[in-house]
Structure 1
Amino acid sequence: MRDLLLIGVDGGGTGCRARVRDQDGRLLGEVTGGATNVFTGVETALASILDTAIAALEAGGLGARDLARCVTGLGLAGANVPSVAAALHAQPLPFAAHAVETDAATACCGAFPEGEGAVAILGTGTAYALTHGGETRLLGGWGMMVSDVGSGADLGRRALAAALLAHDGVLAREGLPAALLAAFGDEPSAIAEFAKTALPRDFGGFSPLVWHHAEAGDAVALALVEEGLGVIEPMLRRCLALGVPRLALLGGLAPRYRPRIAADLAALVVQPAGDAMEGALALARSLLPATALRSSTSQAVA
């Protein structure tokens, strides 16, 4: 049906982005909203998604009343975990139709719409996806506690651990550790209290400080970055070993890491054709025939 609209959502631990297009591809609205960390609460994440989708519609002169005619692709960090995906599918949403994929998969689709490429999402979390031979495969992206080495959240968490080591005299009380201790009033217990309830985006808030000190040559900060590269580079090589010919680095930390990766990997990094919202829009577009058929059948029955 021609009155159906398309929404592509890219939801991560720090922010949610939504883009609205009509079926002819015309951009109607686009906004950035709050975090959508599904690991810390599916209902809260979906509320953020709806708020962002409505804001994107309003940016195009539409509104919440139009959600019912929107076919929506949701690319969400954490959707690769089966229990999270099940919880997402169990929640009622006001769209005409929707589909959920991990943000890595939609990012890969957006970056390489014709296939044959791999993306590394380097942001609050990390995740990797590749498309080869018509199939998409995911690597990593299991969350900060057991994965995501090199992400903003991981850098922030490990930097705070280094600050505590400096407090105990194991590391020098200078540079990055000293700056972090000062941020907590030189109270190690304050760091522990912070960590009790901190979300990935909270740990990620210290990532810019890590990079600032790394670029100034701070030994602790450089070691943290090198440890991240020690996982990011092997993940990129694994993607190449699985058959893809090119790579794209996405996310807020991509510009930070790109100059630091090995020369042979850097030579294969290309500019993505589109972003994760375009990949989510492609996911939404794949639902159009079935959605139109359901709508026609409903009208015929009525």
Structure 2
Amino acid sequence: MSLRSEESDVSSRSAHQYLDADLLRGVSIGFVAPSIAAELAPMVGTMPNIISLPYGRCPPLHLQAPNWRHLLKLMARLSGTRIEPTVEALAVTRSAQMHLRTVVQFVRTHHSSSDWRTVLWFTIDHPVPNSLPGARKYTNGDVDILPWSYTLSSLPALLRDNSDTMLSKCYTIPSSDAVPFPALPISFPNMAMYLQAALEESRRYTSDSSSGIRKLAKMVETCYPTLAEPNGEVGERSRVGGLFKKVIGRAGGRKDKQKKGKGGNEDTYELVTPFVLDEWGP
């Protein structure tokens, strides 16, 4: 497992030289538990170009940001950063297509505070053994159950009890026809698009009390009440999911440059515009 620059520290600095320094305040990434602090300190080190995920027994990778909106803005601008399997993972799976399993967690900085930090957790999806007792709970799309791949290693304290409390709320992003699990490798801008598509999918179920999928929308509404749902019809949301499927089918967007028409960055722009219009818009 590693977080590294693609060529060198110079390459990493060059790739992110136009990134607003404020976007890296309160940001952390690593295979250790994040420090949840009230003060937004500058990021320690630099954002890596390549984030390599192992397959199997490994703690989940975390990415922390001050809030949901901040996270999408940051990822949309990190076009030089991508998540990919390690060489060892490719050897173990014999080049089989690997997918990312993502858990969204909102953590309150203090019991008396109204500030919630956004933490994403990542692992590579791992098949559930058929002989495992109760295996179905890992395959039925339950948003309150951590993926099987998260159980293969010791969990950080923040995730050990993933039930919702006054200080923490968790959501395991399920797979659906509109928003399937992302294929690896995947760039950060395309990952931002996946997260936005997952939120739009959740908003489609806000009136369906029988589905847990609406939980992410409820979490965002509760923890970030100023982040209003953008106006739009169901058809517009379906377009978001369909666009995500189109991009994910290109294995993280590596082939986007070979396609005519809109590329991955323009597609991502359409999805994150409600969050970054002040900086990307006219």
Q: Tell me the TM-score range normalised by the shorter chain.
A: under 0.3
Point out the structure with max Rg over C-alpha: 1
Q: Normalising to structure 1: TM-score of the pair?
A: 0.26
Which has more helix, going by share of residues? 1
Q: Normalising to structure 2: TM-score of the pair?
A: 0.28
